Amino acid sequence: MIPVRGYEGRRVGVLGLGRSGLSTARALAAGGADPVVWDDSAEARDRAAAEGFAPADPGRDQVLAGLAVLVTSPGIPHLYPGPHPVIARAMAMGIPVDNDIGLFFRSFATAAWDGFDTAPRVVAVTGSNGKSTTTALIHHILTESGRPAQMAGNIGRGVLDLDPARDGEVVVLELSSYQTELARALTPDVAVFTNLSPDHLDRHGGIGGYFAAKRRLFAEGGPDRAVIGVDEPEGRFLAGQLAEAPADDRVIRVSSGQKLDGFGWSVFARKGFLAEWRRGRQMAAVDLRAIPGLPGAHNHQNACAAWAACRALGLAPREIEAALASFAGLPHRSQLVGERGGVRFVNDSKATNVDSAAKALQAFPRIRWIAGGLGKDGGIAALAPHLGAVVKAYLIGHSARDFALQLGATPHEICETMDRAVARAAAEAEPGEVVLLAPAAASFDQYPNFEKRGEDFTARVQALPAAGQGA
């Protein structure tokens, strides 16, 4: 646990008592603060009470009055489409609003670091797609190279559940736009921006607000090194704002598809090969095509970002290359879950939006595509340019019929359920093809989250009869 410092003997409000909220309350108490906790759910309040916290409704001014700060969970809106009533009242009363990420950055460094040979460092990763894989890959490379490392944030543990830092340790954080937008302290040593595509637009008041939330990680914290994906205009804009000149190697530009050899420091992938350039010289080259945990151009971009971050931390190319080869990938993100008769089954349940589904559809040459769920605005119309590898689509969930209308000449079948979709795709697939779950939709019509959807797909695949045994 990271005890929260700076609020000793003061009342601190905690709004939202899910994983991060309860963790925050514990860390505040460990640091000597007096947590005042609340959740709109009676069940969540009961869990907090069982741990010794006394819930108090902050909707009453006498509860809010005198709070040093109100700490809110990331899922609770604080601005768009409208702030939670408690947050709105706190802001009207002038009470600062923060989250666990802000508390972490103000509390992580301690006097114990004075005795360390090497100060601990923090790498923070944000972006629309690929940030979980990039975060996990950085952590994997560090641990495979013998460096002490921890991983937290939007992946794994909550940030305040981390252990106090060890000598030379690196903490790798995945941070969502919900987390970066509100944190009052953001001071990573290395900050990574993977890419940007429209998502969470209602929460941020549009694409500009969404980008502004991501940009805070760089503008507020002033990292020593910034790793910036420059395949979209926003990334190029951000890199240009942070660099004093093209040769400024405090910014490491990253791309999947572009050659970037005219900058101070860059890492890019083309046709499956990663290249690192610095000060006009090629420093390394790696063949990514044979790494099963990193299929497709989108994962090659993730590999470039992780490579750049680890190089910024001082790792040698040979160490990073060896660790890349052993990376198995993350569950529900281009995850190979089975093979049957020369047909591979890939679980990309995390592809909940059009952009991430497009990247998955470009990763394999012949695809039996399982898609559908609770569709987002626009459905899958924007995927039309990326359907060339789709042999046939198998549509499930609430938006199956809407998706069917947008597929045009692409062969498709409305299956409705995962069970039927997997069975039909497996029955029709031929050797060399991939049965790919990349839903391009939320899961909430049939599953509580994308993880459960991916687990169902995996279970259905594993229950298939062996090739040649029939149904």
Helices (H), 118-175: 131-144
**Helix, strand or coil, per DSSP, at residue 152:** strand
What is the CB neighbour count within 10 angstroms for residue 240? 12
The two structure tokens encoding residue 124: 């923070």
| Residue position matching structure tokens 């993880």 | 451
Instruction: Give the integer Cα–Cα distance in Å for 450 and 332.
Output: 8
Beta strand pairing call for 343-347 and 170-174: unpaired
Beta strand pairing call for 273-278 and 281-287: antiparallel
* Non-local CB neighbours of 78 within 8 Å, separated by 6+ positions: 72, 84, 87, 97, 181, 182
Instruction: Give the integer Cα–Cα distance in Å for 304 and 269.
Output: 7
Residues belonging to the binding site are 127-133
**Helix, strand or coil, per DSSP, at residue 197:** coil
Instruction: Give the integer Cα–Cα distance in Å for 25 and 321.
Output: 41
CB 29 within 8 A of CB 1: no
**Helix, strand or coil, per DSSP, at residue 319:** helix
What is the CB neighbour count within 10 angstroms for residue 464? 19
The per-residue DSSP string of 15-49 comes to E--SHHHHHHHHHHHHTT-EEEEE-S-HHHHHHHH
Q: How far apart are the first and last CA of the chain?
A: 51
The two structure tokens encoding residue 359: 């990247």
The two structure tokens encoding residue 252: 């490491």
Residues belonging to the binding site for ATP are 127-133
CB 413 within 8 A of CB 395: yes
Kindly calculate the radius of gyration of the chain based on its CA atoms and give it in whole angstroms: 23
CB 121 within 8 A of CB 171: yes
The two structure tokens encoding residue 275: 């290249």
The two structure tokens encoding residue 94: 């002038």
| Residue position matching structure tokens 């994997």 | 140
Among the listed residues 437, 444, 459, 359, the one whose alpha carbon sits nearest the alpha carbon of residue 399: 444
Instruction: Give the integer Cα–Cα distance in Å for 136 and 281.
Output: 29
